Chains A and B, each alone.
Chain A
Amino acid sequence: KNEVEQSPQNLTAQEGEFITINCSYSVGISALHWLQQHPGGGIVSLFMLSSGKKKHGRLIATINIQEKHSSLHITASHPRDSAVYICAVSFTGNQFYFGTGTSLTVIP
């Protein structure tokens, strides 16, 4: 049983398109993290959410605690956004579970 489900697994978009990546989880969490992993392998934390919505530049993350669902939106996508986006949830006690990731390719 996977505690964290991400969709889609793969996504190809044209430059400028609005992109949404979804994450669902099965039990109550203390926080949800959106991570970005570039082809070189390094991981960057984009957002940490426990409620509501956060925005950073062209990236927006929302979370609905009742529905156990989070979305990551990228507005005006750009080829440099091409990466794997990973949803991670932390539970009470700091157990972490990760989604399988969404591989995004943005074509110029």
Chain B
Amino acid sequence: DSGVTQTPKHLITATGQRVTLRCSPRSGDLSVYWYQQSLDQGLQFLIQYYNGEERAKGNILERFSAQQFPDLHSELNLSSLELGDSALYFCASSVRGQPAGELFFGEGSRLTVL
């Protein structure tokens, strides 16, 4: 058990819809990272937050947004969903902000868009 909690574990929705994925980091970790893993693109870095502030941005689509709340949990919002958004979405946390420290991954949220 990494100590990182992601919900929901599985989510099935339709194109055009909006979903929210939630991540609770390990106790004491200030950084939260979001990653997308799809069959054709592998793992991709989406975005990082550190203590409530956005710190780094990767290949995150404009239809996607994220935030980190004062209690340090984070949410990834995916809107106007397309079939290609079907993927595993991982959250990871670490103590440090920059450079990235050791990463602790959640079990992932599997999103299926029909």
Contacts and interface: CB of A to CB of B under 8 A. Distances in A.
Given A88-B43, A94-B55, A98-B44, A33 B103 contact: yes
Contacts of B33: 96
Contact of B42 (A33, A42, A45, A101): A101
Interface string A30-62: 110101000001111100101000000000000
B68 interface: no
Interface string A54-91: 00000000000000000000000000000000101010
Given A41-B108, A94-B56, A30 B100 contact: yes
Contacts of A98: 42-45
Contact of B100 (A31, A41, A42, A44): A31
B101 interface: yes
B42 A94 contact: no
Instruction: Bin chain B's interface residue count.
Output: 20 to 34
B82 interface: no
Interface in B51-106: 55-56, 58, 88, 90, 92, 97-105
A96 B58 contact: yes
Contacts of B5: none
Query: Which label, helix, strand, loop or mixed, suits the secondary structure of the B interface?
Result: strand
Contact of B56 (A43, A44, A95): A95
A62 to B, nearest CB: 17
A108 interface: no
Contacts of A93: 56, 98
A43 B109 CA distance: 12
Contacts of A101: 42-43
16 contacts: A35-B105, A43-B90, A43-B105, A43-B108, A45-B92, A45-B102, A48-B101, A86-B43, A90-B99, A92-B98, A94-B56, A94-B98, A96-B33, A96-B45, A98-B45, A100-B42
